[in-house]
């Protein structure tokens, strides 16, 4: 879908009124963390709501009534205010159970004078009495329209509310967008805490779209932002920094939920930007995270951030850092490396050139003739190694079985697959990468056995 034509609706309100629950209901997802802890939502989260075959963009925000004590809380409010100013329509979410509170009245007055149309929603209306209670004067908040009683948790009243949203947008001359078949490349940005993931995303988007802070674990939940570059669609996903797993399991809570979501994001991504800190050595956390990425089907680009902080750089500086990466994470030696600075935006625009290249490599296909030639060459250099059993395996064929990532079957003459030593598959992978440009994507090679197929000539 063309994101430039999609109306934007912001969910605004105080904390704990159910904005994130409503966001999940409207976007038919569980992307926003839902918790009784006030201030769970920090960044603006974006998602698409489909209704009547058309789409709008929904933006979830943090509560406007947080205590402005820390920099993070100031940023939460700043993010909400940006959403209020850039929205085509605001859904003001309140809590029907608690009734209008002084904070609601303050927010209502701001929205009334903000110049953006407002629809009021009284959430948590699971009972008939809840729906009836909004028909009183106290619910005419600062002269705003009478609320729609809904239950984001159960979905009651949401359809009627969306009908009104659609009608309001049509009257404003900003109707919901028609769906199209344009696919977006999903890019997950991962790394351990404080390597500069959110700063990198802000540099890419050219705005302070994600909250950044020197406090570890500022980002609690995966967060999407859609953008278009030269007609190509991308979805950027910020993820919670992943610490050592035992610490997360011990402490539990919101951070554990965020880490679990981040792991799921990696497995859904097309390309992963694996961010490391140029000023810090590769730690066990990076190696653990690299293993998680390796198990996924996503392409990988290693983004070395804070390159501006390295003094007295020479061409050999880059070579030395790349060697360190290969030594520290040898099983990701096939990932391209780019050196950037989120602070100065150095080489930021080059990231998408690499993303497009890696994405194309994920769909690379070789002909049967090319793979037959490859196998003959590989076997000539190194015969298949024996693992179990008295007889050596014989390579019979090598075929491609899939893409994203490129997947292959090696057929051998043997009784069982474990006759072939696992190291031979690593040898084949390395040889394949030498002959076919598939940098940035994992590849999968599985073994099949056949007892009655003619041997490959070597």
Q: Please report the pLDDT score of residue 295 as a whole number.
A: 83
* Greatest mean pLDDT range, 3-12, 125-134, 189-198, 317-326: 317-326
Contact in structure between 3 and 81 (CB atoms under 8 Å): no
Q: Please report the pLDDT score of residue 406 as a whole number.
A: 93
Residue 341's DSSP bridge partners are: 346
Residue 252, H or E segment = none
Report if pTM > 0.85: no
pLDDT tens digit sequence for 400-411: 999 899 999 999
Q: Please report the pLDDT score of residue 262 as a whole number.
A: 56
Task: Identify the band that residue 66 occupies on the pLDDT scale cut at 50, 70 and 90.
Answer: low
Task: Identify the band that residue 266 occupies on the pLDDT scale cut at 50, 70 and 90.
Answer: confident
Contact in structure between 427 and 384 (CB atoms under 8 Å): no
pLDDT tens digit sequence for 39-63: 434 445 778 888 877 888 898 887 7
* Greatest mean pLDDT range, 29-38, 211-220, 258-267, 433-442: 433-442
Query: Of residues 1 and 125, which shows the higher confidence score?
Result: 125
pLDDT at 34 over 60: no
Q: Please report the pLDDT score of residue 283 as a whole number.
A: 87
To the nearest whole percent, how much of the chain has pLDDT over 90?
A: 43
Residue 91's DSSP bridge partners are: 11, 119
pLDDT at 68 over 80: no
Q: Which residues of 392-420 are buried (b: 16+ CB within 10 A; e: fewer)?
A: bbbbbbbebeeeebbbbebbbbbeeeebb
Contact in structure between 277 and 195 (CB atoms under 8 Å): yes
Contacts with 108 (C-beta within 8 Å, 6 or more apart), sequence order: 92, 120, 141, 142, 144
Q: Please report the pLDDT score of residue 303 as a whole number.
A: 97
The two three-digit tokens of residue 34, written as one number: 């839902």
What is the rounded CA–CA span in Å between residue 20 and residue 31? Answer: 9
Task: Catalogue all structural domains in the chain, each as residue range(s) with its CATH number.
Answer: 3-178 (3.40.50.300), 185-362 (3.40.50.300), 368-449 (3.30.300.20)
Task: Identify the band that residue 456 occupies on the pLDDT scale cut at 50, 70 and 90.
Answer: very low
How many other CB atoms are found less than 10 A from the CB of residue 181? 5
pLDDT tens digit sequence for 96-126: 999 999 999 999 998 998 889 999 999 999 8
Contacts with 405 (C-beta within 8 Å, 6 or more apart), sequence order: 297, 299, 362, 441, 442, 443, 444
| Lowest model confidence (mean pLDDT) among 227-241, 252-266, 293-307 | 252-266
Q: Please report the pLDDT score of residue 101 as a whole number.
A: 92
């Amino acid at each position: 879908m063309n994101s430039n034509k999609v109306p934007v609706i912001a969910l605004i309100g105080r904390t704990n009124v159910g904005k994130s629950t409503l966001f999940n209901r409207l976007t038919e997802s569980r992307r926003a963390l839902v918790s009784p802890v006030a201030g769970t939502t920090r960044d603006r989260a974006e998602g698409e709501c489909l209704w009547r075959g058309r789409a709008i963009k929904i933006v979830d925000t943090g509560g406007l009534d947080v205590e402005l004590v820390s920099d993070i809380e100031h940023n939460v409010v700043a993010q909400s205010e940006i959403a209020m100013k850039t929205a085509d329509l605001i859904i003001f979410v309140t809590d029907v159970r608690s009734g209008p509170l002084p904070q609601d009245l303050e927010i209502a007055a701001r929205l009334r004078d903000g110049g953006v149309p407002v629809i009021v929603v009284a959430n948590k209306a699971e009972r008939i009495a809840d729906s009836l209670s909004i028909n009183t004067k106290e619910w005419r908040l600062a002269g705003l329209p009478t609320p729609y009683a809904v239950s984001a948790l159960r979905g009651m009243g949401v359809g009627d509310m969306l009908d009104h949203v659609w009608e309001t947008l049509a009257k404003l001359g900003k109707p919901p967008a028609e769906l199209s078949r344009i696919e977006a490349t999903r890019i997950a940005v991962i790394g351990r805490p404080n390597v500069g993931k959110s700063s990198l995303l802000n540099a890419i988007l050219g705005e302070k779209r994600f909250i950044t802070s020197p406090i570890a674990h500022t980002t609690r939940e995966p967060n999407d932002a859609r953008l278009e570059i030269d007609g190509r669609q991308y979805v950027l996903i910020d993820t919670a920094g992943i610490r050592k797993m035992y610490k997360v399991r011990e402490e539990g809570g919101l951070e554990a939920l965020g880490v679990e979501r981040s792991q799921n994001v990696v497995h859904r991504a097309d390309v992963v930007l694996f961010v490391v800190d140029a000023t810090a050595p590769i730690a066990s956390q990076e190696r653990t995270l690299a293993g998680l990425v390796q198990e996924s089907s996503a392409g990988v680009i290693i983004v070395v951030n804070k390159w501006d902080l390295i003094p007295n750089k020479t061409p050999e500086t880059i070579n030395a850092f790349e060697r360190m990466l290969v030594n520290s994470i040898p099983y990701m030696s096939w990932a391209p490396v780019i050196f950037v600075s989120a602070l100065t935006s150095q080489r930021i625009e080059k990231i998408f050139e690499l993303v497009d290249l890696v994405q194309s490599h994920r769909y690379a296909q070789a002909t049967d003739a090319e793979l037959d030639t490859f196998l003959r060459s590989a076997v000539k250099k190194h015969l298949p190694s024996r693992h179990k059993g008295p007889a050596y395996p014989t390579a019979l064929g090598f075929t491609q079985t899939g893409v994203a990532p490129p997947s292959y079957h090696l057929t051998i003459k043997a009784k069982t697959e474990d006759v072939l030593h696992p190291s031979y598959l690593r040898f084949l992978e390395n040889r394949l990468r030498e002959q076919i440009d598939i940098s940035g994507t994992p590849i999968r090679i599985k073994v099949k056995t056949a007892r009655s197929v003619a041997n490959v000539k070597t």
